[in-house]
Amino acid sequence: PEGNMTLEIYTDSKCTSISTDFDYENYIVKRYVERYEAYSYWYGYDYGYNLGVAAAEKYRNAIAIWNEKMSVFKVCQPCRAYNLFAEEEDGNNSRDRHRRRHRFLGE
């Protein structure tokens, strides 16, 4: 969908061409395997791989949560419309004592 963040491996300096050979999750797993290769004797052969898979899943979930939380801002409206907190204010004029209610976006 439009406006969502993703994690990709790009093959050019302008980040316009996404790699078809290598994805972000494989990149993370490969880096963890390389980093923890020396520790495989103590922690087991799959130690770096398991850490890499867990890290890749953590990043994937974080990006999914980011996209979900930011979806409210993907509606084109004037910037003043983005008051996400319901508030009540007393008017400064003591004569009319009116109350204004600021509403959530979309209400």
| DSSP character string of 70-84 | HGGGGS---GGG---
Alpha-carbon dihedral 84, 85, 86, 90, rounded to 10 degrees? -120
pLDDT digits (tens, 9 = 90+) for 4-30: 888 888 888 888 888 888 888 888 999
The mean of the pLDDT values for the chain is 76
pTM for the full predicted model: 0.58
Map tokens 């302008």 to a residue. 14
Nearest to 64 by CA among 19, 6, 22: 6
Decide if 7 contacts 24 (C-beta within 8 A): yes
